[in-house]
Structure formats: structure tokens, C-alpha cells
Amino acid sequence: MSLLTHPIALSLIPTTISAAVVGFTSPRSLYRLAFLLLILYLTYLGVSTALERTQSTFLASWMGVALGVGALQYIEVALVSEWAYETQGPALGYAHCHGLSNNDAKMQNNKQDDSNFIDRFKYGFRVSLSYRNCGTRYEVKNVAPFDQDNPGYIPLRLQFLQQSTFSAVACFLFLNLPNLKREDIHLYPSVYSPEKVLLFSRLAEVSSEEIIVRITTIMDIWMRN
């Protein structure tokens, strides 16, 4: 396995491409459409070979989600809303949808004219990794506040890190402790085999173990998201 085809590299390369495109190309550049083809190819390559490359269902799932979400994010920021460094935001039409006046949008789109290499890459990574644009004028709707009773409350950085760490550890323990001492790993192929995908056409032969696996898998995905 080469360095470029390593699972971690396959997950990071599309994000790096997205950052470069957003930071260094104009909103209507044909390079944006051309790089979409490369990102879709890397996504297909990574997802279709994830389990083979990682030998881990958890890592394969993580890799598949990272690549799929990254591809969708590229389509959104590079092609649909057309973010660019020079504009420090999306295209005018997208800005109008977020309640900016003509003057506000034009001022935003004329904010940056020159920069250095590092600034452009930093901006590209920030846009490519910001799925909700929290705290900006482009924040997506229905972002939950930190405190429902006090929507304007923003915790201190240390408090936020402590709360996030506690939540992450609690979720990890809840989701993974029951599986730490499992000794029936050899049974996984019989539960996760391709012929088990169809459900309603073979209800009569569905086992209780398979039902439990399906329920816990759905709960797992829901909790992780």
C-alpha cells in the first residue's frame, strides 16, 4: 500500500483539494468542476476499498463517512454557494438568501484582494471544514444554542473543552464497552454478509441476533451524529 492510497491519506486528500480550490480559484473557475471529478473518484476508491484497507469495520465506516461528507461539502462550498478567498464568503446570490442587503453583500465580496499562500490555504481549510458556519452571518438554521434558557450564552473555551471531552468519553464508553469483551468476532461475516442486506423479502428467516444487530447499529449511528 503506497502512502497516497493509505486510508488516512485518502480521507485527507479530498479536504486538501477542497481547501486549495476555495482558497486559490475564482467562484466560476472551471478548475472547480474538474477537481470535482477527482474528488468523486477518490471517494469511490476510498469507500469501495475501505474495509480491505483498514481491516476494521469502525475505521472503514469512519473513512466512508469522512469521504462522503467531504465530497458533499466540496459540492456545496465550491460549486453551489461558490465560496472564494477574494469574497471572504459565498456568491452574492447565496448571500442574499441569508438576509444580507446588496451593499452588505458587495462589501463582503470585496473584502480581500490580496493575500499570501498560507492565508489562502487557512481560509480554504476553514471553509471546507465548517459544515454549519457557526458564529458567522452564514450560520445554517436551527443550530442549537449552548443553553436553551439563555440562547446568547457562550461558554469559556476551557468550559467548552471540558464539556466536549466528557461527552466524547461518555459516548465512547456507552457505545463500545459492551463490545470490548466480545469473543464471537468470527460470527460477524454471518451477520454482516451482503445477502443480509434485504430485510422485508426474507422476514421469515430473520434471526433475533440480526434484529438486535440492526437496532444497535441504528442507535450507534444516531448517537455518533
**How many domains, in total, are found in the chain?**
2
**Hey, what's the cell of 50?**
475501505
The answer to whether residues 21 and 119 belong to one domain is yes
**Of 110, 129, 148, which residue is a domain's last?**
129
Q: Give CA–CA dist 165/176, Å, rounded.
A: 16
Give a yes or no: residue 50 inside a domain. Answer: yes
Q: Which residues does the chain have with pLDDT short of 70?
A: 1-6, 92-115, 175-196, 220-225
What is this structure's pTM? 0.64
The answer to whether residues 108 and 183 belong to one domain is no
φ, ψ of residue 9 to 5 degrees: the values are: -65, -45
Q: Give CA–CA dist 88/108, Å, rounded.
A: 6
Give a yes or no: residue 203 inside a domain. Answer: yes
Name which of 80, 151, 142, 86 is nearest 114 in CA terms: 86
Instruction: Point out which residues pair with 89 in neighbouring strands.
Output: 84
Q: Give CA–CA dist 194/202, Å, rounded.
A: 13
Percent of the chain with pLDDT over 70: 73
pLDDT (0 to 100) of residue 34: 93
The answer to whether residues 113 and 197 belong to one domain is no
Give a yes or no: residue 152 inside a domain. Answer: no
Give a yes or no: residue 149 inside a domain. Answer: no
CA gyration radius for the chain? 22
Give a yes or no: residue 2 inside a domain. Answer: no
The answer to whether residues 109 and 18 belong to one domain is yes
Give the position of cell 458556519. 133
pLDDT (0 to 100) of residue 185: 47
φ, ψ of residue 89 to 5 degrees: the values are: 175, -170
Give a yes or no: residue 103 inside a domain. Answer: yes
The answer to whether residues 13 and 89 belong to one domain is yes
Give a yes or no: residue 47 inside a domain. Answer: yes
Give a yes or no: residue 150 inside a domain. Answer: no
The answer to whether residues 108 and 193 belong to one domain is no
pLDDT digits (tens, 9 = 90+) for 109-158: 445 555 688 999 999 999 999 888 887 888 888 888 888 888 788 888 89
Q: What is the domain range of residue 79?
A: 7-129
The answer to whether residues 124 and 26 belong to one domain is yes
